[in-house]
Amino acid sequence: MLHFPGAQVSLRGKDNASLVVVGAHHFGGDPNDPIFRSVRSITWQGVILLEASPPVSRELRKLWKGGSTASFATPADDVHIVNAGVCTKDAKGALPFYSFVGNNSFAEEADGLLKRQVGGHDGLPYWRTQIGSFDGSFVMKWSEHMLRKYTSLGPDGVLPPLMNRYVKVENVRCHSLERVLRHPGLRGGRPALLVIDTESLDCRIVASHDWCEPDRSPEILIFEHIHCSTSDFDAAKDRLSLKTCEHARDQYVLRARERENVLFVRQPLAAGTGAGSSKVR
Protein backbone atom coordinates (compact mmCIF):
# COMPACT_ATOMS: atom_id res chain seq x y z
CA MET A 1 0.00 0.00 0.00
CA LEU A 2 1.35 3.42 -0.99
CA HIS A 3 0.75 5.80 1.90
CA PHE A 4 0.35 9.44 0.88
CA PRO A 5 -1.15 12.22 3.00
CA GLY A 6 -4.87 12.10 2.29
CA ALA A 7 -4.82 8.93 0.19
CA GLN A 8 -3.76 5.30 0.07
CA VAL A 9 -3.17 3.49 -3.22
CA SER A 10 -2.81 -0.27 -3.54
CA LEU A 11 0.51 -1.56 -4.89
CA ARG A 12 -0.67 -5.17 -4.90
CA GLY A 13 0.50 -7.11 -7.92
CA LYS A 14 3.22 -4.61 -8.87
CA ASP A 15 6.03 -7.18 -8.72
CA ASN A 16 6.01 -7.34 -12.52
CA ALA A 17 6.29 -3.58 -12.92
CA SER A 18 9.04 -0.97 -12.58
CA LEU A 19 9.82 1.99 -10.34
CA VAL A 20 11.37 5.32 -11.39
CA VAL A 21 12.51 8.07 -9.02
CA VAL A 22 13.67 11.34 -10.61
CA GLY A 23 15.63 13.43 -8.13
CA ALA A 24 16.32 10.38 -5.96
CA HIS A 25 18.64 12.23 -3.55
CA HIS A 26 18.60 10.17 -0.33
CA PHE A 27 16.13 7.50 -1.51
CA GLY A 28 16.72 4.43 0.63
CA GLY A 29 18.72 6.33 3.23
CA ASP A 30 15.79 7.46 5.36
CA PRO A 31 13.80 4.59 6.89
CA ASN A 32 11.01 7.05 7.73
CA ASP A 33 10.50 8.09 4.10
CA PRO A 34 6.85 7.06 3.48
CA ILE A 35 7.43 6.33 -0.21
CA PHE A 36 10.46 4.13 0.44
CA ARG A 37 8.61 2.27 3.20
CA SER A 38 5.69 1.68 0.81
CA VAL A 39 7.79 0.24 -2.03
CA ARG A 40 10.66 -1.59 -0.32
CA SER A 41 8.83 -4.93 0.04
CA ILE A 42 8.06 -5.17 -3.69
CA THR A 43 10.37 -7.06 -6.05
CA TRP A 44 10.40 -4.51 -8.86
CA GLN A 45 11.37 -5.53 -12.38
CA GLY A 46 13.84 -2.70 -12.63
CA VAL A 47 14.37 0.44 -10.53
CA ILE A 48 15.82 3.69 -11.89
CA LEU A 49 17.15 6.21 -9.36
CA LEU A 50 18.00 9.37 -11.28
CA GLU A 51 19.99 12.05 -9.46
CA ALA A 52 21.46 15.10 -11.18
CA SER A 53 23.84 16.32 -8.47
CA PRO A 54 27.22 14.56 -8.98
CA PRO A 55 28.21 14.48 -5.26
CA VAL A 56 24.73 13.40 -4.15
CA SER A 57 24.69 10.74 -6.87
CA ARG A 58 28.01 9.39 -5.59
CA GLU A 59 26.66 9.24 -2.03
CA LEU A 60 23.53 7.50 -3.29
CA ARG A 61 25.67 4.90 -5.07
CA LYS A 62 27.68 4.28 -1.89
CA LEU A 63 24.47 3.90 0.08
CA TRP A 64 23.10 1.21 -2.22
CA LYS A 65 26.40 -0.62 -2.64
CA GLY A 66 27.19 -0.50 1.07
CA GLY A 67 24.33 -2.75 2.14
CA SER A 68 22.43 0.00 3.97
CA THR A 69 19.32 -0.78 1.91
CA ALA A 70 19.13 -4.49 2.81
CA SER A 71 15.42 -4.13 3.57
CA PHE A 72 14.74 -3.43 -0.13
CA ALA A 73 13.35 -6.61 -1.73
CA THR A 74 14.53 -5.86 -5.27
CA PRO A 75 18.00 -7.35 -6.00
CA ALA A 76 20.79 -4.77 -6.11
CA ASP A 77 21.57 -5.67 -9.74
CA ASP A 78 18.10 -4.45 -10.71
CA VAL A 79 18.60 -1.01 -9.11
CA HIS A 80 20.21 1.43 -11.55
CA ILE A 81 21.60 4.73 -10.25
CA VAL A 82 21.98 7.29 -13.02
CA ASN A 83 23.79 10.61 -12.64
CA ALA A 84 21.60 12.75 -14.91
CA GLY A 85 18.73 15.16 -14.75
CA VAL A 86 15.41 15.52 -16.53
CA CYS A 87 14.55 18.45 -18.79
CA THR A 88 11.56 19.31 -20.95
CA LYS A 89 13.44 17.80 -23.90
CA ASP A 90 16.69 15.96 -24.53
CA ALA A 91 19.65 18.31 -24.24
CA LYS A 92 22.48 18.15 -26.73
CA GLY A 93 25.36 17.50 -24.39
CA ALA A 94 25.45 18.50 -20.73
CA LEU A 95 23.84 21.54 -19.10
CA PRO A 96 24.97 23.65 -16.11
CA PHE A 97 23.61 22.20 -12.86
CA TYR A 98 23.67 24.42 -9.75
CA SER A 99 23.89 23.04 -6.23
CA PHE A 100 24.48 24.30 -2.70
CA VAL A 101 27.75 22.83 -1.43
CA GLY A 102 27.87 24.09 2.18
CA ASN A 103 28.13 21.58 5.01
CA ASN A 104 27.62 21.92 8.76
CA SER A 105 30.83 23.88 9.31
CA PHE A 106 31.19 25.48 5.89
CA ALA A 107 29.58 28.85 6.64
CA GLU A 108 31.53 29.38 9.83
CA GLU A 109 34.85 28.45 8.21
CA ALA A 110 34.26 30.62 5.18
CA ASP A 111 32.75 33.75 6.69
CA GLY A 112 32.87 33.50 10.46
CA LEU A 113 29.10 33.19 10.75
CA LEU A 114 27.94 31.83 14.10
CA LYS A 115 25.32 29.20 13.45
CA ARG A 116 22.16 28.83 15.45
CA GLN A 117 20.98 25.63 17.05
CA VAL A 118 18.96 23.79 14.40
CA GLY A 119 17.02 20.66 15.30
CA GLY A 120 19.38 19.87 18.15
CA HIS A 121 22.50 20.16 15.96
CA ASP A 122 24.79 23.07 15.22
CA GLY A 123 24.84 23.77 11.53
CA LEU A 124 22.78 23.96 8.39
CA PRO A 125 19.65 21.79 7.98
CA TYR A 126 19.84 18.24 6.61
CA TRP A 127 17.98 19.26 3.44
CA ARG A 128 20.79 21.59 2.33
CA THR A 129 22.00 19.01 -0.22
CA GLN A 130 18.54 18.99 -1.81
CA ILE A 131 19.10 22.52 -3.11
CA GLY A 132 20.13 21.60 -6.63
CA SER A 133 18.58 22.42 -9.99
CA PHE A 134 19.21 23.36 -13.60
CA ASP A 135 17.44 26.59 -12.60
CA GLY A 136 20.31 28.70 -11.25
CA SER A 137 18.08 31.50 -9.93
CA PHE A 138 16.15 28.98 -7.83
CA VAL A 139 19.34 27.64 -6.23
CA MET A 140 20.66 31.15 -5.53
CA LYS A 141 17.36 32.14 -3.92
CA TRP A 142 17.21 29.14 -1.59
CA SER A 143 20.90 29.28 -0.75
CA GLU A 144 20.42 32.86 0.41
CA HIS A 145 17.30 31.88 2.34
CA MET A 146 19.20 29.13 4.14
CA LEU A 147 22.17 31.30 5.06
CA ARG A 148 19.94 34.07 6.39
CA LYS A 149 17.74 31.71 8.41
CA TYR A 150 20.27 29.25 9.80
CA THR A 151 23.31 31.45 10.45
CA SER A 152 23.91 34.69 12.32
CA LEU A 153 23.78 36.59 9.02
CA GLY A 154 20.11 37.37 9.63
CA PRO A 155 17.69 39.15 7.30
CA ASP A 156 19.69 42.38 7.12
CA GLY A 157 23.26 41.09 7.03
CA VAL A 158 25.49 41.62 4.03
CA LEU A 159 25.30 38.44 1.98
CA PRO A 160 28.71 36.99 1.08
CA PRO A 161 29.33 36.03 -2.56
CA LEU A 162 27.32 32.88 -3.23
CA MET A 163 28.76 31.72 -6.51
CA ASN A 164 31.89 29.58 -6.18
CA ARG A 165 31.75 29.78 -2.40
CA TYR A 166 28.35 28.29 -1.63
CA VAL A 167 26.95 27.39 -5.06
CA LYS A 168 28.78 24.99 -7.34
CA VAL A 169 28.15 24.67 -11.07
CA GLU A 170 28.82 21.40 -12.88
CA ASN A 171 27.83 20.19 -16.33
CA VAL A 172 25.33 17.33 -16.08
CA ARG A 173 23.50 15.26 -18.71
CA CYS A 174 19.84 16.14 -19.04
CA HIS A 175 17.31 13.74 -20.60
CA SER A 176 13.68 14.00 -21.55
CA LEU A 177 11.24 12.08 -19.38
CA GLU A 178 10.40 9.91 -22.38
CA ARG A 179 14.02 8.80 -22.64
CA VAL A 180 14.19 8.01 -18.93
CA LEU A 181 11.03 5.87 -19.14
CA ARG A 182 12.63 3.87 -21.97
CA HIS A 183 15.72 2.97 -19.92
CA PRO A 184 16.70 -0.67 -20.70
CA GLY A 185 16.88 -1.38 -16.97
CA LEU A 186 13.09 -1.17 -16.74
CA ARG A 187 12.48 -4.83 -17.47
CA GLY A 188 8.93 -4.54 -16.20
CA GLY A 189 8.05 -2.16 -19.02
CA ARG A 190 5.43 0.30 -17.88
CA PRO A 191 6.42 1.87 -14.52
CA ALA A 192 3.88 1.33 -11.78
CA LEU A 193 5.17 4.37 -9.92
CA LEU A 194 6.99 7.50 -11.06
CA VAL A 195 8.22 10.01 -8.47
CA ILE A 196 9.56 13.41 -9.61
CA ASP A 197 11.39 15.93 -7.42
CA THR A 198 13.53 18.29 -9.48
CA GLU A 199 13.37 21.44 -7.36
CA SER A 200 11.25 23.92 -9.36
CA LEU A 201 11.01 22.20 -12.76
CA ASP A 202 8.49 19.42 -11.99
CA CYS A 203 5.37 20.99 -13.48
CA ARG A 204 7.12 22.03 -16.68
CA ILE A 205 8.54 18.53 -17.11
CA VAL A 206 5.10 16.97 -16.58
CA ALA A 207 3.52 19.40 -19.05
CA SER A 208 6.16 18.59 -21.69
CA HIS A 209 5.67 14.80 -21.67
CA ASP A 210 3.32 12.80 -23.90
CA TRP A 211 1.25 10.72 -21.46
CA CYS A 212 -1.00 9.22 -24.14
CA GLU A 213 0.95 5.98 -24.58
CA PRO A 214 -0.26 3.73 -21.73
CA ASP A 215 2.53 1.16 -22.14
CA ARG A 216 5.14 3.81 -21.33
CA SER A 217 3.25 5.91 -18.82
CA PRO A 218 3.14 5.18 -15.08
CA GLU A 219 0.03 4.07 -13.27
CA ILE A 220 0.86 6.30 -10.30
CA LEU A 221 2.58 9.70 -10.48
CA ILE A 222 3.88 11.82 -7.59
CA PHE A 223 5.56 15.15 -8.19
CA GLU A 224 6.45 18.27 -6.24
CA HIS A 225 4.19 21.25 -6.89
CA ILE A 226 5.27 23.64 -4.13
CA HIS A 227 7.72 25.49 -6.39
CA CYS A 228 5.38 25.60 -9.42
CA SER A 229 3.56 28.72 -10.50
CA THR A 230 -0.22 28.44 -10.72
CA SER A 231 -0.07 28.52 -14.52
CA ASP A 232 2.62 25.81 -14.65
CA PHE A 233 0.62 23.56 -12.33
CA ASP A 234 -2.56 24.10 -14.36
CA ALA A 235 -0.65 23.23 -17.55
CA ALA A 236 0.65 20.02 -15.94
CA LYS A 237 -2.81 19.04 -14.72
CA ASP A 238 -4.30 19.80 -18.13
CA ARG A 239 -1.69 17.60 -19.81
CA LEU A 240 -2.49 14.75 -17.42
CA SER A 241 -6.18 14.93 -18.28
CA LEU A 242 -5.22 13.21 -21.56
CA LYS A 243 -7.93 15.16 -23.34
CA THR A 244 -5.58 15.75 -26.28
CA CYS A 245 -5.06 11.99 -26.71
CA GLU A 246 -6.95 10.38 -29.57
CA HIS A 247 -9.46 7.77 -28.37
CA ALA A 248 -8.43 8.19 -24.73
CA ARG A 249 -9.90 5.52 -22.51
CA ASP A 250 -8.41 6.71 -19.25
CA GLN A 251 -7.02 9.77 -17.51
CA TYR A 252 -4.88 10.79 -14.57
CA VAL A 253 -7.02 11.71 -11.58
CA LEU A 254 -5.70 13.98 -8.84
CA ARG A 255 -6.20 11.82 -5.78
CA ALA A 256 -4.45 13.91 -3.12
CA ARG A 257 -2.59 17.16 -2.67
CA GLU A 258 -0.46 18.09 0.33
CA ARG A 259 1.82 21.04 0.99
CA GLU A 260 4.69 19.93 -1.25
CA ASN A 261 3.53 17.04 -3.43
CA VAL A 262 0.58 15.82 -5.46
CA LEU A 263 -0.58 12.29 -6.24
CA PHE A 264 -2.14 11.36 -9.58
CA VAL A 265 -3.49 7.91 -10.46
CA ARG A 266 -4.24 6.72 -13.99
CA GLN A 267 -7.65 5.11 -14.20
CA PRO A 268 -10.33 4.31 -16.81
CA LEU A 269 -12.79 7.01 -17.73
CA ALA A 270 -16.15 6.58 -16.06
CA ALA A 271 -19.02 5.88 -18.45
CA GLY A 272 -20.53 9.09 -19.76
CA THR A 273 -17.66 11.33 -18.59
CA GLY A 274 -14.99 13.12 -20.50
CA ALA A 275 -11.29 13.33 -19.81
CA GLY A 276 -10.19 16.09 -17.51
CA SER A 277 -12.34 15.64 -14.41
CA SER A 278 -10.60 15.20 -11.05
CA LYS A 279 -11.51 14.60 -7.44
CA VAL A 280 -9.18 17.12 -5.83
CA ARG A 281 -8.65 20.71 -6.88
What domains does the chain contain, in order, with CATH numbers? 2-92+173-268 (3.40.50), 95-171 (no CATH)
pLDDT of residue 11: 85
Confidence of residue 102 (pLDDT cuts 50, 70, 90): low
Helix or strand (DSSP H, E) at 59 = helix 54-65
Q: Which amino acid is at 206?
A: V
Q: What is the model's pTM? A: 0.87
Residues pairing with 121 in the sheet: 118
DSSP 154: T
How much is the average pLDDT of 43-55? 94
Least confident of 102-106, 145-149, 193-197: 102-106
Mean pLDDT of 111-121: 44
Within 10 A of 259 (CB to CB), how many other CB atoms are there? 7
Residues 6+ apart with CB under 8 A from 30: 36
For the segment 270-277, the average pLDDT, to the nearest whole number, is: 51
Q: Which residues, at least 6 apart from 89, have a Cβ–Cβ distance to it below 8 Å?
A: 176, 208
Q: What angle do CA 172, 174, 175 make, to 5 degrees?
A: 150
The DSSP call for residue 116 is: P
Structure confidence by residue, pLDDT tens digits, 152-177: 777 887 787 777 778 889 999 999 99
Q: What is the pLDDT of residues 189-200, one digit of tens each?
A: 778 999 999 988
3-state SS assignment for residue 161: coil
Among the ranges given (123-127, 133-137, 213-217), the one the predictor scored with the smallest mean pLDDT: 123-127
Mean of per-residue pLDDT scores for the chain = 84
Is the pLDDT confidence value at 213 over 50? Answer: yes
Asked if the model's pLDDT at residue 107 lies above 50, the reply is no
